[in-house]
Amino acid sequence: MNDNNSPLVSVIVPVYNSKLYLQRCLDSILNQTYLNFELIIVNDGSTDSSKDILRKYVNLDDRIVIINQNNMGRAVARNTGIENVTGDYIMFVDSDDYVGPNFISDAVKAIVEDTDIVCFGMTIKTEQEDKQYISIQENKSLTKEEAMRLLINDNYLWNKMYRKSLFDNVKFPVGKDYEDVYINWKLFHIARTVINLSISSNYFYVVRKDSVVNHPTPTSIIDSFEASYEQYEAYQNYYPKLNNEILDNIIGKAISYVTYREYGLRPDLDDKVRQILKDNNIPKDFDLIHRLSMMIFKVSEPSANLLFKLRKLFKRSI
């Protein structure tokens, strides 16, 4: 491929204690069919041998830039990466995941003159199976409403390519988990054209047992709900036609919040959760556990809190 007139794509990889997965991740990026890219690696104060692995890549390819910083969290690492890119477009890869050889090229091929975001599917890898995930089964330019609808259930960074200028006034919130949920709706809101590709073989999301998603903490649950609630409020203001769909999403986040929270850490969010669960009907497509949880909360919040406490104790014991 002749890349002389092709856009420079900046791939940002935050790294923190990823020694078991890091080489696979970086090699998959360097094995791209598209050549006009730079790889920005931000080592966020790793304490394992990740830094030693990175040293091997310093002189391997002149497209690689390695930045070392004290441990300040994923959001700061991503912001650091953005501050150091020189590309026209940005893509994100988590250091425990990996990508296919056409990860960049397929996204670049989809660009038209005013394309700000390109979305595509992914393969979710667990110990049991590989699951293909594609939000929209069609290659197309999305209307604003279609793009915002996609984001309700596909609120990830790594299966998308973003025009760099979108981040001029949007930064990842420091010290937060679910940093992608905090900002993705803002990026989609200001984007001119969003392209969707029905491809699932370019990003491989590896589900780890020790991830924040699988082991929620009181802080991560707060961040998840807070980020989702900001998105919910924005949709109410700007995209009222999507209100029912975003409502189902925030109800699910509210149930997770009351299940795993430490009561009293955020009274302001406690009140929002209480209002959401008591003022709305139970979504018909919720599974039995979520339906029962919401039903009990509506009848008696103290009883629901006791049930959730028992559920947490049971999960810790297995």
Residue 228 is encoded by which pair of tokens? 């989702």
Please check the confidence at residue 3 and state whether its pLDDT lies above 60. no
Q: How many CB atoms lie within 10 A of CB 86?
A: 10
pLDDT of 4 above 50:
no
Say yes or no to pLDDT of 236 above 50: yes
DSSP H stretches of helix in the chain: 22-30, 50-55, 74-83, 103-109, 144-153, 179-190, 218-238, 243-260, 267-279, 288-299, 301-317
Residue 213 — pLDDT band, cuts 50, 70, 90?
low
Mean pLDDT of 222-247: 96
Q: What integer is the mean pLDDT of 91-107?
A: 97
Average pLDDT score, the chain: 91
46-to-14, 15, 67, 232 alpha-carbon distances in Å? 10, 7, 12, 35
Query: Does the domain formed by 9-206 have CATH 3.90.550.10?
Result: yes
Q: What is the mean pLDDT of residues 179-187?
A: 97
List, by residue range, all CATH 3.90.550.10 domains of the chain: 9-206
pTM (2 d.p.): 0.92
Task: Please state the rounded mean pLDDT for residues 198-202.
Answer: 90
pLDDT tens digits for 256-307? 898 887 777 899 999 999 999 999 999 988 988 889 889 999 999 888 888 7
The residue whose two tokens read 């302001």 is 268
Query: pLDDT over 70 for what percent of the chain?
Result: 93
pLDDT at 1: 39
Q: Is the dihedral of CA 191, 250, 171, 100 positive or negative?
A: negative
Q: Using CB atoms within 10 A of its CB, is residue 201 exposed (0-12), middle (13-18) or buried (19+)? A: middle
